[in-house]
Structure formats: C-alpha cells, structure tokens
Structure 1
Amino acid sequence: MKHTFMGLATLLGGFLGLSYSAQAQGNRIDDALLFSRLGPSGTARTLGIGGANVALGGDFGSLSLNPAGLGFFTKSEVSFTPGLGFGTAKSTPQGNLAATGSLGSMNETANSFHVASVGVVFANRRPDNDNTSDWRGGSFALGFTRLADFNQGFAYTNQTDDNHSFFQFLREPGGYVSPSSAGYRSALQNIRTQDNSGNYYDLDGLAYGNFLTTIGKTKGGLDSLGTPSRVGPITQREQVMTKGSLSQFDLGYGGNYRDKLYVGFGIGIVSLNRTRTSTFSESSNGGEDFNYQDYLKTTGTGVNARLGLIYRAADAVRFGASIQTPTYIRLTDEYSTTLTSQYAPANLSNVLTTVPSTDEYSITTPFRANGGVAVLLSKYGFLTGDIEYVGYSQARFHTVDASQGLDFTDTNQALSTGYKNTVNLRVGAEGRFDIFRARLGYARYGSPYAGDSPFNRDQNYYTAGLGLRTKSFFVDAAGVYLSYKDRYSPYTLASNEVGNKPTNYVQRASPVVAITQDRFTFSLTGGLIF
C-alpha cells in the first residue's frame, strides 16, 4: 500500500542522482541513509574539535565514540549540554524537460532547541604507590547523546507542462504505463479499494475518489486511467518540514592498564522520533487544481555495542581504534494523506483523507570502524585526527509481521547497488592558556552514493570552541557549521519519451530541485568535577 507519493525522500539525499521517490510501500531507500549518516556529536569540547576524539579520551563524548577514552579519567564528573540549531535551505528548480520556466530560488528555515548530551562519569584510580595490580583504574559512565538532528525544511516553486506533471504520475498507476500489463490492471483494482466507511487507503485512491483520475476504456476494451486535460504551464509548489532526532542512551566502562593501554566497551540504546509533513499543489489557468498534505511519523528503539582501545606509544602520542556493531532498530510508521481537489463535483466533498495506517518493521544500520591519533603539545594543547569507515551499502530492512504484506527485497537490493562504503575524516586542535581553552575542528563526511559524480554530496563541518576548566568545574562552548548540497524530486515517472535520436528512449523527466543546506548549531556544556 502506498503511504506517500513522495515516500521518505529527505533532504539528506536521493538514490542514483535524485532523491528516490517511494511509489510503493517498502521503498525506504532514503530512510536507510537518514538513520545511518551521523555527524559529530557529544559535549561542546568534542564538538569544538570536529568530533575527533577516538584517540584523545578524557571526555564524556568518548562514551559514544571510543569508550576506551573513559580510562583517562582520574576524577568523577557530571555534565549537561543544551544546544540551539539554526537551519536554512535554498531550493532552486533545475532545468530539464519537466521545467518549462524559471521561477527563481526559495529559502526555508528550520530552527530547534535540544539537549546535545547529559551524563555522569564515575572514576576510580589507584594511588600511585599502590602496585598490587597493573590495572591502574577505570571509569563507568552513563548518559544521553543526540546523534542526528532531523529538524529541517525546504520549499520550492516549479513550472512544468501536463506531460511531466503530477497528473502524469497518476496516469502511471503502480509505476506501470501499459493498460495491458498485469501490474497496471492490479494497480487499478487497488485504487478503487475502500474500507467499510468508504475511505481510500492511499493517495492514488484519493485521486480517484476526488475525480483527479477516472477509469475509461481503451480501443481494445481494457480499463485505462485518465485525468482532466490541462494546457499551458503548470505551477507546482511544495513545502516539506521535518522534526525530531536520533538519540542514544549509553553505558560503558573504560579501563587503564599500566597507564599505557586503555580498553573500553559500551552498549547503546537508540531512540528515534521523526515527523515529516509535506504540502504539494499544482495550479493551472490561474487557479489551484489540487493540493495534498502528507503526514508521516516514525518512531523506534534499537540497540548496538562498541569496543575500543587507546595505546599510549609515548607520553605525547596516542593511537586509538574502535568498532561499533550494526544498530538494530525496531520502527513504527504512522501515516495519513489528505487531498483537496477542485475537480470534485459541487454536491460532493472535495476533501478526502486516507485511512490512518501503521506499519511495523526494522532496520539494521551499518557497521562502523574508527581509527585515530592524538599528539599532545605538553601544557600548550593537542592535535588530533580520526578516520571512520561506514558501510552504507550494508544497511538492511526486515519485516517483523508477515501479515502486513511488506516486502523489502527490492529495497535491500537497491541499497546494495545504490550506496557505497565510504570514509569520513575529522581533525581538531586545542590551545591551552592557563585555565582557558580555544579549539578548532573540521570534519568531512564522504558521499554515500554510488555513481554520484559529478554532483558532490559530501558533508562539511566547520567547528570552533572556547572553554574554561578549573579543579572543580568546567564550561565549554562550541559552534558547528554544516554545509552540503542535495537534489530532490517529488516523484519519478515510469513512462518513456524520445530522446535526441529516434531509437534513444529515456525515462520521462521528473522535476528536479537543487538544495543547498546550511545549518549552524551552538552548544554549551557545563560540568562539575568531584
């Protein structure tokens, strides 16, 4: 069943050069990326150095990245990190056969207040004169870390013609073009399906019930789907807003062996909450033909585990490594769609809403591996750098209730071929001036899309921070600026049209919107040492 004609297309990308528009239940290509592509997170100290904390240690942020870093604590501490996020998206329709005129760019903002992290570390250190064991101490930590921010939005206006409009999408039920195909005939039957109260189950059904589509006969006597005829330019408008986050509740332990080798392990309980609302409309001849609002709420809980170590090769040089298991998340989707049509007869309601529906399924996000090096500059500060491997193509969806009829075979195959394994880089530096600290950092998260060239969808983070640390408390502030580019398509078309040569058939062009995302996040950490 179709719960949204745009599916789960998100700001974070698309599939094979465009956002993958879900035309059938189960096409959740973008969700796999959304729940797997995580940026720098943790305390303001960790954020200020670009998240490069694999080999450094000594910060609550180590718990969710490399728990071996907990072994560096000699005193206990508690910390709290609130944050503010400010986002702007610039959207510009791209020129192709689905764009008949340029309507310029549009900006949309999405701001948020959140808790970036909160946690406590309980440290236990043997006195220096206690040589009863080579294990010099260790720390147990637990707390909360916000891993991903889903507060985003964008809006655009595009101009097209009827053959490339949403009406053309409706004329291709189930993604089929020929009325003689079994898939086309099955899709027509599903379109007419209603519950006992006369409500339709998806957007195609709403379009049929609200007279955007009608079923007639071909010359061969086969049922065929048609739409009202429109001539001249078609103006499309859409606004998409998402809210929520992916967070993790962690507990872990880091031990110190002879002040040389630090080992740690941790367990994470993942909590996911995301709400997406989109409003799409088309207008012709100076009036709106229809608009529809799609609502999708996704919630879930999951679990993962990680192991790590840090080796002090010399007093000034540390090497670190950590691995994290794939994260298993049990998910629930709640969704509904409301369509308002100006084609409905005057004696009938022109507003129809689908039957509110729920799906339950799960996802396994990719394995992650981190390596890092840190160089301490005596009492003057440090330099640190990380490299992270993420196997995006390894993400997989799974059914949890066979009676729901979900099938992820095609989706998982598309994940294998459409995404690639990639490497992320993080570097940071801190300067120390008595009790004061100054920090800079940079992180580049590589594009996960196979065949993404020449369109570059790397994510670049630029970070800076200040801090103050005494024997009893500390205060840190950090700013993180994220900039990246993306493409979005509200729907894809299955029909073909002739290219430059008589024998060259290509997929009918869909509207394409180029999006430039800029987001600045400010975080402030306060902590007590005891």
Structure 2
Amino acid sequence: MKKQIFLFSFFACLSFFGSRAQVYYNDAFRYTYRPMPTGSARTLALGGAQGAMGSDAASLAVNPAGIGLFRRAEVAVGLDYGNSLIQSSYLDTDETANRDKIGLSHASAIFAAPQSSAGQTIQFGISYVRTHDFRQDSYYQASNPYSSLADVWTEEAAGIHAKVFESEAANNKIYDLASLAYATFVINPYADDSTQYYTEFRDVNNQLVAPILQEERIKESGSRSVFNITAGGQIQEKIYWGATVGIEVINYERENTYKERLSRTAADGELQAFTLRQRYTATGGGLYLGMGIIVRPIEPLRIGAAIQTPTGFSLYETSTASIESESVGFSKVSASIIPYEYDFRYRSPWRASGSLFWQIKKYGFITADVEWIPYRQMAVSGSDNNFDESGERRAIRENFRNSIQARVGAEARIGSWYVRTGVCYTPSPLRKEAAYYDAMAFTGGIGYRLQGFQLSISGVFARYASLYQPYVSQQYFSPTVERTQQYMQWQVSTHWYF
C-alpha cells in the first residue's frame, strides 16, 4: 500500500491489510482529531466555549487561568452516556452499526486560599478529563463483482519465492499477511513461476469466477485522557493567571473481522471463503505544559488567552492476525502471524486559544473560543533505524492543514436555574477532500444551583462524514466505504462547594 495514495490509505487507517509495516501518521491523526467539545456538563452545554469563563475545573485543560476565578474549594465529578452511530454505504449497499457507552467524563478538586490584604489569591487544583472517546462500532457488507482482498495479497507476494512462504509456514514463523494468505491457501504460486501468485477466486482469464460477498465488522475501544495539576491566582480581580502540568494517557484497541465468500459454490478442492481477524492495541502516555491568562478590562468583559505545548507520547503497540479458509471437500485451515510489538513516539501539535466572556448583569452571559490546532506539526518516530520518519513527516505536511476550531455558548439565569446552549465547529484538517471530517456539534443543557451544590445536565449531538477503504490494489478495483458518523452524548455533573 503506497503512502502517496493518501485519501484511500489514510482512511484505511483501521485496517492492516498491507504488510507488517504501519503507517503511523494515521495514528497521529486519530489521537489529535477531536470533533466533540469536552469538559463538565456545564461547559459541554456551552459548546465547549470555556477559555475565559473560569470557575470550572474541567476548563483548566483549556485555559489554566480559569483557576483564578475560584473563591471556594470545590469537588466535582461527571458521568456520561453516549451513543455512536455509523452509517456505511458500500457498493450501493447501506448498513448501520451503533455502540452505547457510559463512563467517567471528569473529576476534580480545587483548593482556594483566602484573599490577601493586597487583593491577591492563590489556588491549586487537580483534575481529570476524558478528551477523546474512541469507542465505536462499524459494519458494512456487499457483493463485489470487481475485486477481492486476495488480489492485494497476490500483488504483495509477487517476487517472493514460494519456498520462503513454505519455510515460514513449516516453522510457524509467519510475519505478514501475504505469507499468512499463502499458508491458508487463499493464494497459490503458479506452476511455472514460483515467484508469482494467483487466487482461485479468479479464472484462467483473470476474471472473478463469481461476485465476492464481502463484509467487515470493526470494533474500537479506548480513550485519551488528561490529568492536570494546576496552580494560579488573581490580582485585584483584574488579572487571572494559571499554569498547569498535564499528564496524558492513550489507551486504544481495535478488532477487525473481515470475511469474503464466493457467491456460488466453488469447484471441488477450490477456495470457497476466508475470514481475516486482526487485533491492534496502543498504550502510552506523555507530558505537556500549559499557561494562560484572563484579563478583565471592564466589569462585564473577560478576555482570555492560553497556550499548550505539544505532548510527547511514548506508545507501545501490539498487533495480531489470523486467517481461516474454507475449500470445497477439505477441512478448514487456519494460521496466525507472529504477534508484532513495537515502540513508537507521537508528538501532538501545539494548541493556542483566544476567548471572550461577556456577563449580562445577573441574567446570564455569552462566551466564545477559537483554538488553533496546527496539524502539520504532528510528528511520529520509531524505535529503530527502519522507521521511515522522513516519509511520515512528508506525508503529514502534504496532506494536512492547520485548523481553527470555533466554539460559542450562552447561558441564561432564571432564579436558581440555568439554561445553556452552544455550538462547536471543527473544520476538516485535510488539504484535499475537505468535506470529510468537517464536523459540527450542537449542545444544550440545564443547571440548578443551591448554596453549596450545583447539578448540571448537558446533551451533545455531532455529525461528520468520512471515507474508509478496505484495501488498495495496484491492478484491480479498490472499493470505498462512505460513512456518516453521528454521536450523541448526555452528561450529568455535580459540584460541591466548601
């Protein structure tokens, strides 16, 4: 699979249908792209616009200066329920898969010191926020009259003598999918040239003997979360400042089950069907620093700015794959590759944000954020000399663009009740095919506050389109799955004040 065929290979990031080599800029994008706002139920309901609002511990990951607006100690926790729905269209056949999910979205504790005689205060806080939720399922299926995944493996095996594959299978040391396909009789060498291969899904004229029934189910799990240790304060209620150390953790897992079956009964002794199962995991963490400031030039207005350094992640990945094949008149045959383990590093881009907050007396407020995300600054590197770092860097620069996420929210106060709404717009980070991954999230919620307690409930709806390509063939038809991804999330947050 060539890296230069970006649109297709990039959106095939969920699949390992190529050789053992991994395309790591796909992982960098997965861990960076964030179309949903994050935070507490209050900040979610405001579209994630929280940079100049302050007084919410979940917002400290956006602008740590917000800690300067706390006047009392606080403990907060939030739980959420979400549903992801992916509609897939593949060769004029539509399928839908959805996934329910529930979990801890944020937790925090803020310690506020009394104001000094000079009008200054110092606050300290610790917080946890889940910034990315990878949990989702997708499914597609259709009859393909043009090509098979087995075609790709014949191309990848070309030039390798069959004796190499024979030796790997005999010693149970299979390293890649082409060798695995050979060991399970999905591909076979020509009798007159043992370095060229064919699949029995094609006849002597190199045409498919019948359409191929294809289907794939993909299950993803995991999250990217941040633990912040933040300190800050204020001067004369005019300048608020803060700094934070962020500890980020990535935990990602994917399981693919891909099946092909000939749409008619194969000839005696020939291939009828095969199933490819794959599992991939990546775990690791890193550190970043964040700094922010909020100024109040006039009583109702706050202006905020914040910057966050890149996070340098150290990640450990594992992958496994197996194939089970069926041939008419024979027992099923199965084999597995040697589990693959590798250490690599991922550097997230810088993030810089500017924000406004306007208090409308005691009736509510409006708030807005813009956040700069320079995707072209993403970087990946490997733990050995075989890693193509320059190629990865070139692919990132050629195929991504820097982006600005915009968030706007408003809150109205009615006695002890609060009504909130907002919107979050995430433009596509792709230089080409910008219609894909161009996301819009609509938010809303309510809150109720007593003397030492606040309860908030929020809802978020987000939607965007993407492409996914099961495989890329150099000679035959390469199919594409068009996907519409929808996310709904409900969150309940409680805040206790002391």
TM-score of the two chains, using structure 1 as the length reference: 0.85
* Aligned: 1:264 with 2:261: no
Distance 1:490-1:190 versus aligned 2 partners, 3 A rule: farther
Determine the structure 2 residue equivalent to 1:284.
Answer: 262
Letter in 2 for 1:370: S
Determine the structure 2 residue equivalent to 1:86.
Answer: 83
Determine the structure 1 residue equivalent to 2:427.
Answer: 446
Letter in 1 for 2:489: T
Work out whether residues 489 and 513 of structure 1, in 8 Å CA contact, stay in contact via their aligned partners in 2.
yes
Determine the structure 2 residue equivalent to 1:417.
Answer: 398
Letter in 1 for 2:210: G
Residues 118-137 of structure 1: matches in 2 within 5 Å?
118-126=107-115, 130-131=117-118, 136-137=120-121
Residue aligned with 2:395, SS:
helix
Q: Pick one of 349, 358, 382 that aligns with 2:341.
A: 358
* Aligned: 1:243 with 2:221: yes
Residue aligned with 1:170, SS:
helix
Residue aligned with 2:50, SS:
coil
Deviation at 1:416, TM superposition (A): 1.3
Deviation at 1:471, TM superposition (A): 2.2
Work out whether residues 26 and 407 of structure 1, in 8 Å CA contact, stay in contact via their aligned partners in 2.
no
Q: Note the alpha carbon deviations across 1:13-44, whole angstroms, 9 max, x for none.
A: 95688545653413123211110112311111
Distance 1:17-1:293 versus aligned 2 partners, 3 A rule: closer
Q: Distance in 1 between matches of 2:230 and 2:305?
A: 16
Q: Distance in 2 between matches of 1:211 and 1:337?
A: 16
Q: Pick one of 315, 319, 323 that aligns with 1:339.
A: 323
Determine the structure 2 residue equivalent to 1:76.
Answer: 73
Q: Distance in 1 between matches of 2:46 and 2:228?
A: 22
* Aligned: 1:60 with 2:32: no
Distance 1:192-1:65 versus aligned 2 partners, 3 A rule: farther
Structure 1 residues without counterparts, runs of 5 or longer: 8-12, 94-98, 175-183, 496-507
Residues 189-208 of structure 1: matches in 2 within 5 Å?
194=168, 197-208=171-182
* Aligned: 1:223 with 2:195: yes
Q: Distance in 1 between matches of 2:236 and 2:427?
A: 37
Determine the structure 2 residue equivalent to 1:159.
Answer: 143
Work out whether residues 283 and 315 of structure 2, in 8 Å CA contact, stay in contact via their aligned partners in 1.
yes
* Aligned: 1:28 with 2:24: yes
Q: Note the alpha carbon deviations across 1:337-376, whole angstroms, 9 max, x for none.
A: 12111139837x6111221221111100111111111111
Letter in 1 for 2:105: A
Residue aligned with 1:30, SS:
helix
Residues 80-119 of structure 1: matches in 2 within 5 Å?
80-93=77-90, 99=91, 102=92, 104-119=93-108
Distance 1:261-1:211 versus aligned 2 partners, 3 A rule: same
* Aligned: 1:525 with 2:493: yes
Work out whether residues 288 and 311 of structure 2, in 8 Å CA contact, stay in contact via their aligned partners in 1.
yes
Q: Note the alpha carbon deviations across 1:59-80, whole angstroms, 9 max, x for none.
A: 1122111000110001110001
Work out whether residues 246 and 273 of structure 1, in 8 Å CA contact, stay in contact via their aligned partners in 2.
yes
Work out whether residues 217 and 223 of structure 1, in 8 Å CA contact, stay in contact via their aligned partners in 2.
no
Q: Pick one of 401, 410, 413 that aligns with 1:429.
A: 410
Determine the structure 2 residue equivalent to 1:252.
Answer: 230
* Aligned: 1:384 with 2:358: no
Determine the structure 2 residue equivalent to 1:138.
Answer: 122
Letter in 1 for 2:113: N
Q: Pick one of 293, 297, 300 that aligns with 1:313.
A: 297
Distance 1:14-1:41 versus aligned 2 partners, 3 A rule: farther
Work out whether residues 53 and 367 of structure 2, in 8 Å CA contact, stay in contact via their aligned partners in 1.
yes
Work out whether residues 67 and 307 of structure 1, in 8 Å CA contact, stay in contact via their aligned partners in 2.
yes
* Aligned: 1:233 with 2:201: no
Q: Distance in 1 between matches of 2:48 and 2:362?
A: 21
Range with greater deviation from structure 2 (193-202 or 276-285): 193-202
Q: Distance in 2 between matches of 1:58 and 1:470?
A: 16
* Aligned: 1:170 with 2:153: yes
Work out whether residues 8 and 468 of structure 2, in 8 Å CA contact, stay in contact via their aligned partners in 1.
no
Deviation at 1:190, TM superposition (A): 6.8
Work out whether residues 213 and 263 of structure 2, in 8 Å CA contact, stay in contact via their aligned partners in 1.
no
Q: Distance in 2 between matches of 1:375 and 1:16?
A: 45
Deviation at 1:307, TM superposition (A): 0.9
Distance 1:166-1:475 versus aligned 2 partners, 3 A rule: same
Determine the structure 1 residue equivalent to 2:467.
Answer: 487
Q: Pick one of 288, 292, 310 that aligns with 1:326.
A: 310
Q: Distance in 2 between matches of 1:282 and 1:6?
A: 23
Q: Pick one of 355, 358, 369 that aligns with 1:372.
A: 355
Q: Note the alpha carbon deviations across 1:141-188, whole angstroms, 9 max, x for none.
A: 1021100000111101122235x22122112107xxxxxxxxx53697
Distance 1:285-1:205 versus aligned 2 partners, 3 A rule: same
Residue aligned with 1:125, SS:
coil
Q: Note the alpha carbon deviations across 1:398-442, whole angstroms, 9 max, x for none.
A: 11345xx43333222211111111111100000111211110010
Q: Distance in 2 between matches of 1:156 and 1:190?
A: 35
Residue aligned with 2:42, SS:
helix
Work out whether residues 436 and 467 of structure 1, in 8 Å CA contact, stay in contact via their aligned partners in 2.
yes
Work out whether residues 25 and 380 of structure 2, in 8 Å CA contact, stay in contact via their aligned partners in 1.
no
* Equivalences, count: 480
Deviation at 1:217, TM superposition (A): 6.0
Residue aligned with 1:35, SS:
helix
- What is the root-mean-square deviation of aligned Cα atoms in Å? 2.4
Q: Distance in 1 between matches of 2:62 and 2:136?
A: 25
Letter in 2 for 1:368: R
Determine the structure 2 residue equivalent to 1:498.
Answer: none
Residue aligned with 2:181, SS:
helix
Structure 2 residues without counterparts, runs of 5 or longer: 203-207, 266-271
Determine the structure 1 residue equivalent to 2:269.
Answer: none
Distance 1:14-1:114 versus aligned 2 partners, 3 A rule: farther
Determine the structure 2 residue equivalent to 1:44.
Answer: 41
Distance 1:324-1:189 versus aligned 2 partners, 3 A rule: farther
Q: Pick one of 441, 446, 456 that aligns with 1:461.
A: 441
Determine the structure 2 residue equivalent to 1:185.
Answer: 159
Q: Note the alpha carbon deviations across 1:462-485, whole angstroms, 9 max, x for none.
A: 111111122211111111111111
